[in-house]
Structures are given as structure tokens and as C-alpha cells.
Amino acid sequence: MEWIDAKTILSGYSKSNPWFGCHYNMNLYKGCSHGCIYCDSRSECYHIDNFDTVKAKKDAINILERELRGKRRTGVIGLGAMSDPYNPFEKDLKLTRKALEKIAKYGFGVAIATKSNLILRDMDILLEIKKRAPVLIKITITTADDELSKKIEPRVNCSSSRFEVINEMSEIGIFSGILMMPVIPFLEDNENNILKIIKKANESGAKFIYPSFGMTLRQNQRVYFLKEIEKIFPGMCQKYIDQFRTNYNCKSPKATELFDIFKKECEIHGILYRMKDIVERYQSDYGEKQLSFL
């Protein structure tokens, strides 16, 4: 783990960000140690050197409080877009927890994406935030198979543990669901996997599943993924090269068929899957005035 300088923590205000209705984004860390072989944040365009080394931002909480205090508009702050806010170092550093305390203090909402069950530590603060502003928890799950999960996401808790996180969040009334992305072609893009995820999501009380039937491959992310997939599944690398060449968007050949199955099953169980519906539901108890003005 390393410490790096930072001038800002929050992004500028966006009124119409379609990605889960976030108005701001916040990154307290750069890089991630989970080791997920498919992570798009390895791409050169994000300028994160030595991605597997976690870097924490110096004086992050003081900078964040100054920025929160100076904002004319409140709103929902997104966490986890680039680096998981609950990496292993968070257990001791507590930067994410301290940031959530400031967010609660100034009346902002949060939309958190993570794979880690460490988020359960902060349920008390999430409930405090929820009194005044929206709270959305997005747990990334791409396979229902723990053994596959351990291979492609080697240094983070497995899928079954993440379903338990959703269950605990749902039981205390926090709006939680699944980021089912990326669904990796040739490994996870099969009907059995999709139906199992939906079944377990329903049993866990998930309110939504937001899918992507495919993945991205670009720059050094592509190099890393192909190298790792060949280690895990010898001979598989060539299959990706033959199918996708140098394409950035690597859509599953079964995407249309799987989405039809996915949509039907979600509707049977009352699980949301459209972005617009998810945003409207989790923000439904908070009016525009409450979200926008201090």
C-alpha cells in the first residue's frame, strides 16, 4: 500500500448522470488488490500505474469535508467506479467509513459498488445516511459458482458471501442489488449461470440486477486478461482472439438469447433490471429539492 497526494476527492456536480443517478463520484483509493482478471480499470486510459498496488489519498477526509461543506447542491455520491472502496487496507485505515460519516453529516446520499463483505461494518452509517438521502448498494456478482469466482476474482470473498451481504442489507431496509457485469464470454454466458444468479438474488432480497452480457478488452487490460485466462484455462486465450480480434466491446455471442431469458425471469420475481427503474425506485422517497439544495 502507498500514499499519494490529492487535491480533490469529489468530481463536479452532474444533474443528469445516467449511471445509477449519481451526482458526484468519489475515489479515496487508486488501484485495487482484489486481482479480478477482467477489471477494465487496468486500461491505460485511466492512468493507474501498478494497478494491483493500492494507493490511499493523503489527507482525504479533510479534503472531502472541505468539498462537501462548499457544495451548493447535495445529491448522491458514487463510490467504487474505479477502485473498490472496501479493499483489505480499508479494514484498518477506515477512509471509506470516515468519508461516509462526513457524507451523513452534510446530508448527501451514496451509491456504493463493491465485492467485499467489509461493507457490512458500515451498516450503521448507511442507515444514518438513509434518514436524509438515498442509499444504493451494488454488489458485483458475475457467477453463481464459488469455485469459478475464486479463479477469476482470487483475492476477494466469493460469490456466496456476496449474496449474504445483499441479504443482510435487505433485511435492514437498505436498497441493494447486483451488478452482473461483466458476464464473461465462454465462461459465464450460459443459461444455467444466469438462472442461478437470479434465483439466489431473489432468495437474498435483491431489488435489482443490472447486467452486461459481455466484457471490455482494451490496451493493457486485454494483455492482462488474456495472460491470466490462459493460466487458468489453457487454450482459452486463442478462443478470445479468434472471436473478438482487437475489439473493445466483446459482446457474448449469446447476449440476445440470454437477455430474453434474464428479462423474463426477473419479471417473474419482481426484480428490477432497467437503469431508469432502479434509479426511480431507490430515490423515490427523496424529492428533487431534498436531493439538490443544502
pLDDT, tens only, 206-223? 999 999 999 999 988 999
The two beta strands, 2-4 and 55-57, are parallel
Cell of 282: 431507490
pLDDT above 70 for 3: yes
What type of residue sits at position 187?
Answer: L
Residue 63 has pLDDT above 80, yes or no: yes
Q: Which residues contact 284 (CB under 8 A, 6 or more apart)?
A: none
CA atoms within 13 A on the CB side of 259: 13
CB 26 within 8 A of CB 78: yes
Q: How many CA atoms lie within 13 A of 158 on its CB side?
A: 9
Q: Could you tell me the pLDDT band of residue 289, with boundaries at 50, 70 and 90?
A: very low
Rounded Cα gap, residues 85 and 190, in angstroms: 30
How crowded is the C-beta side of 71, counted as CA atoms within 13 Å? 27
Residue 293 has pLDDT above 50, yes or no: no
